[in-house]
């Protein structure tokens, strides 16, 4: 959020940790609480960009989160997902990079005008996947 604010853009976010949320408030509007409930409160087609950085793997249903994010992002908007492998620990849904890619392709590869850029990087034996998704294919 700091990078966005430093470039004179508006930003807001969702944080489940009250402590982290209070720290982040200096950079924008932070909604503290359960991410699913917070996403449901947001107007449709509100955002140009939504980021899910090291968070998707902590949800019991990552696909439900992606569907909710898809509702709040504008047509042509971008969803940026970065995720560690489940082996990194503390992951509820055991999302691995392969699983993340498979659920996205399985559920959204029907009408594909798809620009999916996958970047995998090994950092201390943790695989990470970064996905840039255009809303146009998330229908």
Give, as one character, the DSSP assignment of residue 67.
H
State how far Cα 97 lies from the chain centre.
14
pLDDT at site 99: 60
pLDDT at site 41: 94
pLDDT at site 37: 92
* Domain identity same for 68 and 14: no
Cα-based distances in Å from 56 to 5, 10, 28? 24, 23, 21
pLDDT at site 19: 92
Q: Which domain holds residue 5?
A: 1-33
* Domain identity same for 108 and 128: yes
Q: Are 68 and 39 in contact (CB under 8 A)?
A: yes
22 SS3 class: helix
pLDDT at site 62: 78
Give, as one character, the DSSP assignment of residue 58.
G
35 SS3 class: helix
Structure tokens at 126: 């943790």
pLDDT at site 39: 93
Residues in the chain predicted with pLDDT less than 70, given as ranges, are 83-139
In a domain, 87, yes or no: yes
Number of domains within the chain: 2
């Amino acid at each position: 959020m700091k990078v966005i604010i430093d470039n004179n853009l508006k930003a807001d976010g969702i944080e489940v940790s009250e402590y982290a949320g209070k720290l982040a408030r200096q950079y924008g509007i932070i909604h503290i609480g359960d991410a699913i409930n917070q996403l449901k409160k947001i107007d449709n087609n509100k955002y140009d960009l939504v980021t899910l950085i090291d968070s998707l793997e902590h949800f019991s249903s990552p696909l439900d989160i992606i569907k909710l994010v898809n509702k709040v992002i504008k047509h042509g908007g971008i969803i940026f997902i970065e995720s560690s492998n489940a082996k990194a620990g503390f992951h509820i849904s055991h999302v691995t990079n392969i699983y993340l890619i498979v659920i996205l392709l399985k559920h959204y590869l029907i009408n594909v005008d798809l620009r999916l850029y996958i970047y995998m990087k090994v950092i201390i034996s943790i695989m990470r996947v970064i996905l840039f998704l255009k809303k146009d294919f998330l229908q």
